[in-house]
Structure 1
Amino acid sequence: MSQVKVSNAAKAKVAEEIKFDILTNVPEGDNELKRSQIARAFISDTITVPTKEMYSYALLASLGDDVYHEPSTAALEAHIAKISGKEAGLFMPSGTMSNQIGLRTHLMQPPYTILCDNRAHIYKYEVGGAGFHSGAAVTPVAPSNGHHLTLKDVESNVVYGPDVHFAPTEIIALENTLNGTIFPQDEIISISEFARSKGIKMHLDGARIWHVAAEIGTSLKELLDPFDSASLCFSKGLGTPIGSCLVGSKEYITRARRIRKLFGGGMRQTGFLAGAAAYALTYNFPLLARVHALAGKLQKSFEEIGVTILSPAETCMIFYDAGSIGSTYDEIAERGALLPEPLFLGGSRVVLHIQTSEDAVNDFINLIATIAEEKRKAGFIKPEIQVNGHQDVYVRRAN
């Protein structure tokens, strides 16, 4: 086949069409403005951004290809496996992928069912992935105590035995924290012992398990011992740009790696992301105690003002009832946005994170106090209501 001669001018024209300077869309000072806004945002902990120090550290990581071998990523996976008491780990681009591959790896042949809390992320916020990816039915269970599933809740809803009318429960998937609340470890152990007696696998959505370890001073190994697999997120709580890690046995992770490739999650130069995660483990994890203290301060101040708390600040979140001071979430968000230094607020869920400023917390408290006083002067009287702990009635939860 003859070679067609192409002029340098034609090649230059193509290169001119292709080139793109993304920095023209980032005005000078825009990133610093974004950092200041994040310090005053209570929407989610996923909005945190890498610091310059994290970037500098991450740039020193290795430059391998993770589908073949990436040294920094492999070292991170081994470390997460070690501290969680599992044999192996697998880096994932997102918590949703980590959960869905985690479930799919356990599930071999339908029919089968996954049992979980009816507020669980895998059930409500992963786009029906269990059904789509794994062909699995889901049994969502409302916790009878309004806080966490109990062994009794599980025993009443799990499916096992010879009756052919029902798809057997193959996995019990728990979440810790869930809506910021800590799942009591003794209850997890009881559920796990029951599950193993029936040959049922245990999976943990531990996206915010770091908060549990920081708050109650319990090792990840102890927290994860009752589970066959667990997903741990680096971006929620720890403040990395991307990433989660799935942990389990060597055989399990070998199978999960193949499924990750099948799902399109096989990545290339992930060393930078692994470096960011390593930085977060060392320098950001210790910041979680401050986050919990700020959340506790916010709750206490809200209660003193007269706000009804729907779910308390066990870690980094509180849920509150705007109606308890005669206001609405929309009004509070709009008033916050009009402050000289705006606050970025959502609905009933308030999330604090490692980049939340104490000034923002104080301004939020003052805003609520101002609105509450205005409503009282206008004649609002707080009704007598009983909070039953089922905060999902009030909550529209985001990631």
Structure 2
Amino acid sequence: MIDFRSDTVTQPSPYMREAMAKAPVGDDVYGDDPTVNELEAWTAQRHGFEAALFTSSGTQANLLGILAHCQRGDEYLCGQQAHNYKYEAGGAAILGSVQPQPIENNPDGTLCFEKLAAAIKPDDIHFAQTKLLSLENTIGGKVLPLEYLAKARKFVDQHDLLLHLDGARVYNAAVALNVDITEISQHFDSMTICLSKGLGAPIGSLLLGSKAYIERARRLRKMVGGGMRQAGILAAAGKIALTENIERLADDHANAHYLAQQLGQLDGFNTADFPTQTNIVYANVDRKIDLTAIATHLKSQGILFSPSYHPMRLVTHLNVTREDIDTFIKALKQQL
């Protein structure tokens, strides 16, 4: 199966499966799982934080990340296209009574600091209290510049806010920028890392921050049912993802550039309006093309993609090769 729907569909390698099977385990709720403990300690040190928490998903990590910073009736600023605002079922608002204040994203994925400043609520009993700015990197495959992150740090310090990073694909950003991950993480009070996208682990995300912050998040994780027992089986895969699957993200980026180039040469597909920076490709598609019918037909050939017109999204990952892209383009041509 050739699957372009998302980088969440990656399969663990045989080596990763073997490490999972052999992982020393214990009851993580009691703090007894040595593999989880090692992953959390190593990840915190590697990224410049005091502590880390292993969670079941990026959505859970973001939920805990926001709620550990904010109280009921508080507010966080974020982008209109932010995953933790748009695609996570309103968790912070519903489960934590924390109000999101979305700001329109600029075309490059950044947020305008003037608009953010205008959205900060005054100290008045009529308003929620603004406590946090949440950024996402990458966002829609776009990389936030390091200069922008430095300005964001200065902005939150000036306005007495905290700064959180939804770093689901933060390693794609680091690889695209050709910098060490700490060049990004140094600006944030907290951040998440998803292990089950391009990094190739089957399950899991990490939340990083201060020791006190992570202890609050650990209590919240238990509250929302996220306490896992012999979770070292999963943590073992996460450690391999972080130590062995980083550099190869560059291959995904190169394949995405190739896919965008090849797709953009087909009649009715426009990729030129969406510069490819990492592993996500977008294309506007002529409405005369029946994408749903094409997707159904290609599925019968073992090729999966999500049919959409404005825009269509395709994602490269460790289970997509250059040859797979050629196979997809050839099959797509035959349907046009």
C-alpha separation between the residues in 1 aligned to 2:59 and 2:93? 14
State how far apart, in whole Å, the 1-side matches of 2:64 and 2:160 are: 20
2:152 corresponds to: 191
Q: Alpha carbons of 1:153 and 1:303: their partners in 2 closer, same or farther (altered >3 Å)?
A: farther
Tell me what 1:363 maps to: 327
1:57 corresponding residue in structure 2: 19
Question: Does residue 1:254 correspond to 2:215, yes or no?
Answer: yes
Q: 1:141-172: per-residue Cα shift (whole Å, max 9, x none)? A: 1124363223233223232x333332122111
Q: Could you report, residue by residue, the CA deviation over 1:173-199 in whole angstroms, capped at 9, with x for unpaired residues?
A: 111111111112211221221112211
Q: Residues 49 and 241 of structure 1 are in contact (CA less than 8 Å); yes or no, is this contact kept in structure 2?
A: yes
Residue 51 of structure 2 aligns with which residue? 88
Deviations 1:29-71 (A, max 9, x none): xxxxxxxx1xx11111111121221111222221221112211
SS of equivalent to 1:106? coil
Q: Which has the higher relative contact order, 1 or 2, with Cα contacts under 8 A spaced 6 or more apart? A: 2
Offset, 1:370: 4.3
Q: Write the mapping of 1:41-190 to structure 2, written as runs, cut at 5 A.
A: 41-68=3-30, 69-108=32-71, 110-145=72-107, 147-159=109-121, 161-190=122-151
Q: Pairwise CA RMSD of aligned residues?
A: 1.8
Match of 1:295 in 2: 256
TM-score by length of 2: 0.92
Which of 341, 345, 358 does residue 305 from structure 2 map onto?
Answer: 345
Output one character per residue of 1:75-115: Cα deviation in whole Å (capped at 9) or x when no partner: 1111111121111101001111111011111113x322111
Q: What residue number does 2:235 align with?
A: 274
Q: 1:253 offset after TM fit, Å?
A: 0.8
* Counterparts of 1:63 and 1:212, CA distance in 2: 32
Gaps of 5+ in 1: 1-36, 375-399
Q: Counterpart of 1:305 in 2: which secondary structure? A: coil
Count of residue correspondences: 329
| Paired residues of 1:113 and 1:169 also in contact (CA < 8 A) | yes
Q: Is the aligned partner of 1:323 residue 2:283?
A: no
Kindly indicate whether the alpha-carbon contact (under 8 Å) linking 2:108 and 2:142 is maintained by their aligned counterparts in 1: no
In structure 2, the CA distance between the partners of 1:95 and 1:165, relative to structure 1 (3 Å rule), is same
- The reply to whether residue 207 of structure 1 matches residue 171 of structure 2 is no
Q: Do the aligned partners of 2:81 and 2:105 also contact (CA within 8 Å) in 1?
A: no
- CA pair 214-145 structure 1, distance change in 2 beyond 3 A: closer
The 8 Å contact of residues 337 and 344 in structure 1, kept in 2 or not, is answered as yes
In structure 2, relative to structure 1, the CA distance for the partners of 1:147 and 1:101 (3 Å cut) is closer
Cα-to-partner distance string for 1:223-278 (whole Å, 9 max, x where unaligned) = 01111111111001111111111000111111111111122111111111111111
Q: For structure 2, which runs of at least 5 residues remain unmatched after alignment?
A: none
**Shift in Å at residue 368 of structure 1?**
4.1
SS at match of 2:304: coil
**One-letter amino acid of the structure 2 residue matched with residue 86 of structure 1:** F
| d(CA) in 2 for partners of 1:329, 1:165 | 49
206-215 or 359-368: which moved more? 359-368
